[in-house]
Structure formats: structure tokens, C-alpha cells
Structure 1
């Protein structure tokens, strides 16, 4: 904002968790405002304050603008160091709220949690380990009607576009989990998906929209061969944000 316009800050009105209308003034020098007692599903409004001329005694305000925030679905156990419910040597099973199917547990009943690289999220085949056929790891969260972005940050991966099957980040409407790789295009409940490739950036963004309040299943499904070299996908973090 042009500081020569006389702007001095913003006034924010919101309802706190006790049901009281609260007013906060944010000076123009502040870059953000953190509200710890905001009442969920309520609206807030804000306006900008100006001193238009040096001789003015009172602030002048713009009209209020009202906003109803969209709650952000929060993924649990979603960043390094990931927590495991069980481990055996290098490999383990990701702790709740992640759900891991048997196909993803290709290391003698363990898989998805990898002690290497700081307790990372990793589904790996090959180098003496079995192939993975529709291995799935996902969790279920509730979301409001809005457009969201699933943001996943990788450490590294060697999945190649020529691989049969492949690995995919998937968002599905409902709490029934993820479809098989071969059904991603046909399954009506799939909201969006993106293939994981070594040629892509380590920062993946998958945009999806909901038109009603619903549970969604969010995670990874993969078909990957055994052999040497095998295939892996080291994931540092998962996050859902409201799209701008």
C-alpha cells in the first residue's frame, strides 16, 4: 500500500469464543494478525484507517469489508519427523491418522515409514524388496465447500514416466479410501490426482474443489516394480490450503 496516502492501519472486528464482538487495531507496520480466540464458522470484517492530511485530528475509515473464512482441513502426522505406530529396523507403519493397506507393507509387513532421512514418508520397492501393487496410504479429513490445494513437498524420487503403473497423489470424495491406479480416471469419487515423476519439481500442488461439506480421502497410491534400481518417493510434508 502507498504509505503516502496517509494510511495508518486496519481495524478488525470479530466474534471471540465467548460470543463477544471484539475490535483490534493493526498498525500499518505490522505484517500479520494472529487471533487465538476466533469463533469458528463466524465472519469478521475489516476497514482501513487513514489520516488524509497532517492537520486532521481523527482517523478516516474506508467502508467495512466482511469475510467468512473457510476452515482449512488439517492433516495429521504430516511432516518430518513422521511418527510410526510400529517399526522393524529401517521400516515401519505410519501412525494415525494415516491408513496403510497391506500392499504398501512390502517390507515383511512394514512400509510407508522410513527411518532413513529423518523418519520420512516413503514407499519403496526393489533392491531386494518386493514390488508394490496398488499400495495405498491415506487419511480422511472433513472439508467445507471451497477450492483447495493439496501441497506435498518431496525430498527426492526416481519414479519415471516410462514406469508401468506409477505413483500418484490423490484426493477422493468420501471416507472410503483411494481407488486402484488403473481406476483413477474412471472412479467418479476422484476429485483430482497428479502423477509423481523425477522430472517434476519437488513441490507438488494438486487443486480440487468441493460443492458441499464432505469427508475426503487424501494420500498416495502406487504400482511399482521390484528390481535394481527400485522405486522410491521420499516425502517431507503434506498440507491442504484454501486456494486464493
Structure 2
């Protein structure tokens, strides 16, 4: 009897459980029916291979229509779907391309949504993309690549310049240089960001030059951004072979004859050489006496060129050793002299001679030092610059110039 009652209770429990599960199942079935009351959802083919090109206050949107020949419309949304555009689609049997340019866009990062529609109004799954729009903020952030140094050689109209390093993260890729050639024609050349040195021929002197830098903010950008042109007057070089290093001819061992300069026999008393020395591995203008070499009596190294009227600055980087023996008014003296008569005077005549300027290179030190002085050239004329040296004591003596410049200052 107890077994029968227990069996009845189990039967009732199973029945109630099945009833509850059936109710839950029907409820879920009813919930599902809510979503298909209008019939089964049908999606049309989506846009494939979406690509968004950035630009200056614009973007270009491209994609492919591949899978569904019934597509007749494409809608593009942005700005949180506050802005949109509709593009009719004429499908062919081939793959068709969407090309859409959106102009007058605000400078920002924009999120785009692309949806297609077919002839029955069915829409596709949304395709998402991100596009950058650049504008005035970006323009204000870019700057010109700096010029580290430049030189325009007045004697042969060749221009050289070295550009400095610059942060590439903003997208700089080139620099344009404008100049006037010797025929009076405006020219523009482009220097790649991987290059730093430029060399131009036939550049007209007495004309300003200018340069600007070019930027692409990213690899998909449609538009090149330019800095404003920076004007500059090239540094004119009037004389040849001014060092860093000096070059020579007739080289034998460490000695040679300084190229492009006139040097007399006394300056080249070491078997016909001596005005150039490569003892340190870098060629310098040189005068040396002692250590088995002859003394130098009025050794002269000079050159001439035509200079426009104006004030000029001379910079000379030199060194010479200390000499304690036999030093007097005519021995162990080195002068730099500027004249307009085609030659330079002897050491003893420097102070009293007719000249445009001079400098006593009396500083003594084994290390190099730069000295500067100015001279006036009253008219356009041939101007000779040069060094004259007496190294006549019984001591070992040397005088070296590593480099120099002669520049118009006003």
C-alpha cells in the first residue's frame, strides 16, 4: 500500500514537470514568433572592400559591389547618422565600384556606416569604416625642413646646401627649392626626405632663393600639404678652395701645392711643395720650417677674384706653435692681407703698404682658433687675399689653416 502511494506521487510530479516545461516552451515559441510576424528577414548584398581615403577637408569612399545584382542604392552615414548621402547603383554583370567624394568635411576622425538596398527595399548588413579629415589644425602643425648650411660659388654659379634632420612622424616626404638660373628663368627642384645634400648649377647670383616642405599625413591621404615658402639669400663664396679640407696638386707624401691659389717658391720650399700639408689626414693650408725643412722667407699664398662693392667679413680657423728663439720684427710673423693691386706685400712692408685690410695672425696655440675681421671694398673690382709668412728662427715652426670664409655682410 505504501509503495502504491509513493508511485502515485512520483507520477503526479512528472506530470507537473512536463506541464511546466511545455508552458515554458510555448512561451519561448511565442516570443520567437514576434520577430517573424512580418515574415523571414532578407538581407541584400553588402558593400565589399570598403576603403576610406583621407584628405584636406574631404574624404573619398571606395568599395565594390560583388555579390548581389539586385542592389540599386547605397547610403553612407556619418556624424552619428546625423549626416548621410544616397548614391544610386546601376549594377552590371561585372564587379561594380563605388566612388564617393565627400567635400567640406570638418577636420576630425569620422566614423562611417555604409548600407545597401535592393529593389524590394531590403537592406544589407552595415559596413563600418573610419576616415581622417585634415584641415587648418594640421596645416599649423607642419614646418619647413631647416637648411644646415649653404654656399653659392660666385665664380662658377654652383650652389650647394645641406638640409638638417626633421621629425618625420607628421608625414614630411620632400622639400622644394626655387631659384633663378643664369638665363633668368625660374626653376624648381625637389629633394626627397631621405636626401640631405643638394647641388645645383647655373644659379644666378644676386637673386634670393626659397624653399618649402611637402607633407602627406598618412599613406591614404589624397592631398599634399605644403609649408609656406621661406626666402633666403644664399651665402656667396667668392674664392676657391677655402678648406674643410683644402685640396692640392703635386702631392708627394704629406706635402703638396695648394690648389687654386698662387704660392711662391718660398712657400713651397720642401722640394717644390709645402703650401699644403696632409700630416693629420686632413688637408690644410700650411707653412712649416724646421724638422729638416728650410726656413720660409716671405712665403706667399694668395688668389684674386672680382668682388662687388661692400663690407666683407673674413673668418680664419688656424693654429701655430710657440717659438722662443730668434723672434724679432721680421722673423716668425704671419699676416693675412687684402689688396686691390693683384699681389700681397712682403712681411716687412705689410703695415706700410697700400691695402684694403690685414690681420696679424699672432695667436699661438696647438689647438685651432677662429679669428675674424672686416674690410671695405669701395667699388666692384679685383681683390686679392692671401697669407705672407716669415718663419726664420732656428726653432721648429708651423702655421696651419683648417678653413676660412670671406662673406659679404653689407
TM-score by length of structure 1 reads: 0.68
Q: Which residue of 2 aligns with 1:107?
A: 270
Shift of 1:116: 0.6
Aligned counterpart, 1:131: 295
Aligned pair 1:40/2:205, yes or no?
yes
Range with greater deviation from structure 2 (77-86 or 159-168): 159-168
Counterpart in the other structure of 1:117: 280
- Structure-1 separation of matches of 2:252 and 2:268: 12
Relative to its length, the structure with more helix (as a share) is 2
Distance in 2 (alpha carbons) for counterparts of 1:196 and 1:74: 26
Larger Rg over CA atoms = 2
Query: Contact between 1:172 and 1:218, CA under 8 Å: does it hold in 2?
Result: yes
Shift of 1:179: 0.5
Note the alpha carbon deviations across 1:64-98, whole angstroms, 9 max, x for none: xxx9x798342212213322210222211112x11
> Do the aligned partners of residues 92 and 43 (structure 1) sit closer, same or farther apart at CA in structure 2, a change above 3 Å counting?
closer
Structure 2 gap segments, 5+ residues each? 1-142, 144-177, 188-197, 210-231
Greater Cα offset, 129-138 or 159-168: 159-168
Unpaired runs of at least 5, structure 1 = 1-8, 23-33, 45-66
Matches of 2:251 and 2:184 in 1, distance apart?
Answer: 46
Give the SS at the match of 2:298: strand
Distance 1:78 1:40, change over 3 A: closer
- DSSP-derived class of the 1:103 partner: coil
**Equivalent residue of 1:182, what SS?**
helix
Q: Measure how far apart 1:197 and its partner are.
A: 2.0
Partner of 1:153: 317
RCO higher in structure (CA 8 A, sep ≥6): 1
* Conservation of the 8 A alpha-carbon contact between 2:298 and 2:390: yes
Question: Using a 3 Å threshold, how does the CA distance of structure 1 residues 41 and 110 change in structure 2: closer, same or farther?
Answer: same
Deviation at 1:211, TM superposition (A): 0.8
Q: Which shifted more, 198-207 or 69-78?
A: 69-78
Instruction: Choose from 234, 254, 257 the match for 1:90.
Output: 254
Which of 333, 339, 343 is the aligned partner of 1:177? 343
Total equivalences in the alignment: 200
Q: Distance in 1 between matches of 2:355 and 2:278?
A: 34
Matched, 1:144 2:311: no
Q: 2 CA distance for matches of 1:223 and 1:133?
A: 5
Matched, 1:234 2:388: no
How far did residue 100 of structure 1 move? 0.5
Partner of 1:202: 369
8 Å CA contact retained: 2:267, 2:301: yes
Residue 135 of structure 1 contacts residue 223 of structure 1 at CA under 8 Å; is this kept in 2?
A: yes
Q: Is the 8 A contact 1:149 1:206 kept in 2?
A: yes
